A and B are shown apart, each in its own frame.
Chain A
Amino acid sequence: MPPAIIVNDVSKKFARSLKRGMIYGLSDMARMALVPRRWQSEGAEARMRDAGNEMRETSCGMRDASSASTESESDSAVPGSLIANPGSRIPTPASRIADPESRISHPVTEAQLRPTEFWALRNVSFTLQPGESVGLLGANGAGKSTLFSVLSGIYAPTYGKVSYRGRLQALIALGAGFHPSLSGRENLYINAAILGLKEKEVSAIYENIVDFSGIGSFIDAPIKNYSSGMIVRLAFSIAVHLDPDILLIDEVLAVGDAAFQLKCAKYARELVNSGKTIVVVSHNMLIIQMMCRRSIWMDHGTILQDGDTHQVTRDYQQFMLMKSAEEKTKSIDSGVRFAAMILQVEWLDAEGRPCPKLTWGKPHQLAIEFEAHEAIEQARFWVEVSAVGKEGLVMGVSMYDDGHYLDIKPGRHRLLVHWDHLPLAQENLYQVCVGVRDWSGQIMLADSFASRLFEVNHHGPLCAGEPAGQTSRLLTPLVAAPYRWTANDGMQLHAFHKPST
């Protein structure tokens, strides 16, 4: 089968400043309309050749720099903080250049930009096969929507080329072109016409569209009386009934209610099964994991990672968490100073050695290292474990529940939580969050600390004699798992009643 979408070395630049953008636009227009093509391409190619040499040098520099930084990162990574360095999985720019499929013919540089311009897409290349569903990840401003716009022909790429086979349908702005005073029916026909359908074709699928949208008798009411959800439902129904070969979905599924979302997801799966191609942009990893087998992670206009969804979403989330943790640290440095500061949270095995990977049912300890800047009385710690991509807590232990409190002398301390049988089941990514407050729980004594992500192996059987492969996979432990706190010499652990656990 020939590929459904070929994105070949696409770059796109924009201007930040409105006024300058106007001037650039006018000069671009004048150049396009007046200067013959022969002269344009000569000049452009000469510029690109120069720029290309420059880029190759800088990219080498970048590779050295990035590999150096990944090494230093893994060195500095605290042993026992569990996850393998994610940087190592991210392909460096050099490796992308080496990839024969994504040959960079027009490498972009900052030198090619006029003042206030920036590259929204830099040398993006990938190929999608029919029947493939791909998730597009990335922080805001990573270039996902620009890529969609280029694919759907709204923006012309500055360099490079996109090609696709068959009818491409972009669900970027649902309801664009709706006239508020006209009825849903009238708007349906107009919208379908804008999307390239003839009147007869629309009439043939009219009933299906209205049924799918679930709007019912509202179809004859003016659009301005619709709720926002109804507008999106109508627009989405129109778009998916155009029988696209390629569907670009940009975070639109989030608007409808749960029932409609489910319907959409089901519809998307049917499309994929029938050999259509789907590209989904979403910040919801669950949607991406549910709908896509392959994912592309974009950052600052480049493709950072392209591969198995499970892998990419995991690295992406790790990256985002680290970024938010960094920002948090920054805000702490400039902001409030608490009585204590949690320095490190790490998992240990039963003997107190740092443990790279936890195992369900085995004894484990969580070591909380913190520094008390002053003497603290009646401090109470809590530990919460959450699973990445899942709502709610998986496990929580708290001195508020078990009736403990700590009197702490100034200095560095180490508090341990012991489990004889770690109750974290299922292979999953987890994160621990640790906090400490005063007796009443109203005053924060230290900023809460979020650990790096960690994984749990599920080697052992749940009950004796059961083969490991057939254990039911639990996310939340159904059994109460006993634990205990241990404090070092600088602290005194009190319990005002016997722990209920």
Chain B
Amino acid sequence: MSGREHPDGYTSYDGIGYERLSLSAWRVMVRELIDYWELIRRLVIRNIAGQFRQSFLGYIWIMLPPIATTVVFSVLQKARVVNIEMPEGSMPYAIFALLGMTVWGYFTQLTMMATTSISNAGGLVSKIYFPREVLVLSAVGNAIVNFLIRLVVVVLTFLLLQYAPHWEIVYYVVLLIPFTLLGVGLGLLLAPINTMMNDVGRLMEFAFQFGMFLAPTVYPTPDIATANDTWQSLLFWAHQINPVSHYLYAAHELVQHGTLTFGPGLQAAVILSFLVFLVGWRFFHAIEPLLAERV
């Protein structure tokens, strides 16, 4: 529970619980997470089951967006409307774009669903008490499930195009942990603010929509060594400062070469991810008591 449970059996809530700001709050936070694991699981199942109960195509709707983007960009590429130069010996463009869209889409959905989770559950939040992290984490759970469903498309594409990725791709699971935590941390930071100003959610949606084109999703990062004008180097740096890019690079590299260069970019991205998560969780826990009256 949010209140302190005292040894004498009392649970108490006091003025804007300052104990939430103390160091021992970490213990409470972990405790709550363990206690409410069951509820998170149930909510994830509920949302997935409820999502497509009245839909004919069901889970196809989850698979469609990355497929559509990939097909469109492949057609544009073939028709030479866009001229995306893939490096020598690179994977087929369709696979490159699909990988990029799947990973980017995962991050987008994860962050968006986490950000809007509290405001979407307003009725529940203002009426029943439970740790609000539960809502954010169950949204994350749904995003993970959607990601798994989309992975099926990726695997099918590999089979269809008879492209064999290096088996080392399974190591990507390890990288997915900080990657996911980055999205969760952002969600935990933004969800409370979004309860009051849903501009935040819209802003994020906008940022993700256009950010897609400023990240190595449907085209590879220009090579800084051969960059011949400022625009190309500008784009290069835009990719470099985006932590998501480094997770994308890693996915591409693992699929294509079966190796992982843990360079400074990726190191920074991983450290940043953990930091964002810890700060976000702490922030969320501290202001949790204010959420109910603001949704």
Out of B9, B18, B290, which one reaches A25, CB within 8 Å?
B290
Question: B286 — which chain A residues lie within 8 A by C-beta?
Answer: 32-33
Identify the stretch in A71-79, A177-185, A204-212, A366-374 within 8 Å (CB) of chain B at 4 or more residues.
A177-185
Verify A160–B15 contact, CB threshold 8 A. yes
* Any A CB within 8 A of the CB of B46: yes
Out of B1, B18, B123, which one reaches A37, CB within 8 Å?
B18
The number of chain A residues with a CB under 8 A from chain B is 52
Interface residues of A in 159-210 (CB under 8 A from B): 159-166, 168, 170, 172-173, 176-177, 179, 181-182, 186, 189-190, 193-196, 198-199
Binary contact track B14-58/A, C-beta < 8 Å → 1, others 0 = 111110111000000000000000110011001001100110000
A181 and B12 in contact (CB under 8 A), knowing A29-B192, A172-B127, A189-B42?
no
* Any A CB within 8 A of the CB of B237: no
Verify B1–A153 contact, CB threshold 8 A. yes
Out of A32, A157, A177, A193, which one reaches B38, CB within 8 Å?
A193
Verify A154–B129 contact, CB threshold 8 A. yes
Binary contact track B87-131/A, C-beta < 8 Å → 1, others 0 = 000000000000000000000000000000000000111111110
Question: A28 — which chain B residues lie within 8 A by C-beta?
Answer: 16, 287, 290
* Any A CB within 8 A of the CB of B13: yes
Question: A181 — which chain B residues lie within 8 A by C-beta?
Answer: 50, 53-54
* Any B CB within 8 A of the CB of A470: no
- A198 and B40 CA atoms in complex are apart in Å by 12
Verify A33–B287 contact, CB threshold 8 A. yes
Verify B46–A179 contact, CB threshold 8 A. yes
* B38, B124, B192, most chain A CB atoms within 10 A: B38
Question: B197 — which chain A residues lie within 8 A by C-beta?
Answer: 22, 26
* Any A CB within 8 A of the CB of B229: no
Verify B287–A194 contact, CB threshold 8 A. no
Question: B290 — which chain A residues lie within 8 A by C-beta?
Answer: 25, 28-29, 32, 156
* Any A CB within 8 A of the CB of B85: no
Verify A190–B43 contact, CB threshold 8 A. yes
* Any B CB within 8 A of the CB of A291: no
- A98 and B292 CA atoms in complex are apart in Å by 34
Question: A21 — which chain B residues lie within 8 A by C-beta?
Answer: 196, 294
Q: What residue of chain B has the Cβ atom nearest to residue A196's Cβ?
A: B130
Verify B123–A173 contact, CB threshold 8 A. yes
Binary contact track B274-287/A, C-beta < 8 Å → 1, others 0 = 00000000010011
- A198 and B39 CA atoms in complex are apart in Å by 8
Min distance, Cβ A39 to any Cβ of chain B, angstroms: 11
Min distance, Cβ A112 to any Cβ of chain B, angstroms: 12
Out of A29, A182, A194, which one reaches B49, CB within 8 Å?
A182
- A467 and B72 CA atoms in complex are apart in Å by 98
Interface residue ranges, B against A (CB under 8 Å):
1-3, 6, 8-18, 20-22, 38-39, 42-43, 46, 49-50, 53-54, 123-130, 192-193, 196-197, 283, 286-287, 289-290, 292-294
Could you give 19 example pairs across A and B, Cβ below 8 Å?
A: A25-B290, A32-B21, A37-B22, A150-B13, A153-B129, A154-B126, A154-B128, A155-B293, A160-B14, A162-B12, A162-B14, A173-B123, A179-B50, A182-B49, A182-B53, A186-B49, A190-B42, A194-B124, A195-B128
Interface residue ranges, A against B (CB under 8 Å):
2, 6, 14, 21-22, 25-26, 28-29, 32-33, 36-37, 40-41, 106, 149-150, 152-166, 168, 170, 172-173, 176-177, 179, 181-182, 186, 189-190, 193-196, 198-199, 222
